[in-house]
Amino acid sequence: MKTEALVACFVVAASAPALGYDTERTRAYFGRELAECGAWYALVAEAPGLDEITRIRFRAVSTSLVSTSADLTSERWALTQMDIAKKTIWREMDGSWKNYPTVDRKYGQVCRDVATDPVARRKYWLDKHD
C-alpha cells in the first residue's frame, strides 16, 4: 500500500510539468497579453491617415481586450498594464509613425490572433511550458 501511494505521488509530480502553466499563471500572462494588445490597438487607432470608421473599430477592439483583461485580473491591473504597454510600444517606435513597421512585426500578428481567437490564445498559455 505504501509503495502504491509513493508511485502515485511520483506519477502526479512527474506529470505536472506536462500540464503547462497553472491557472493563476495563465491568467496573469494572458491578462497581460490582452492589456498589451489593447494598448497596441489603442495606439494603432491614433495612426495618421485612418478613416473614422477604422479608428472607431480599433478603439472598440482595444476596449474589449482591456475589459477582458480586467475581468481576468482587475481593472486597476489591466489599465496599468495597458498604460505601460502603450508607453513601451511608442518608445519602440521612437515616437514616430515612420517606425510603425517595427512594432507591427512584434505585436501585429499576436494581437490580431488575440483579438480574433482569444480562446486559442488562452489555450496557448495553458499549454505553455518554460
pLDDT tens sequence across 54-80: 999 999 999 999 999 999 999 999 999
C-alpha closest to that of 61 among 112, 23, 11, 108: 112
Which pLDDT value is given to residue 90? 97
63-96 per-residue burial string, b: 16 or more CB within 10 A, e: under 16: eebbebbbebbeeebbeebbeebbeebbeebeee
Instruction: Name residue, grid cell 494598448.
Output: 39
As given in the structure block, the three cell numbers for residue 31 are 491578462
Domain limits, the chain: 21-127
CB-based contacts of 19: which residues, under 8 Å, 6+ apart?
none
The residue whose grid cell reads 481576468 is 72
Share of the chain above pLDDT 90, in %: 67
Residue 62 grid cell: 482595444
Rounded to two decimals, the pTM is 0.80
How high is the pLDDT of residue 27?
Answer: 86
Give the DSSP H or E segment for 121: helix 118-127
62 CB-near residues (< 8 Å, 6+ apart): 38, 39, 40, 41, 42, 45
Q: What is the mean pLDDT of residues 12-24?
A: 53
Q: Residue 21: its pLDDT value, please?
A: 64
The mean predicted confidence, pLDDT, of the chain is: 85
Higher pLDDT, 18 or 129: 129
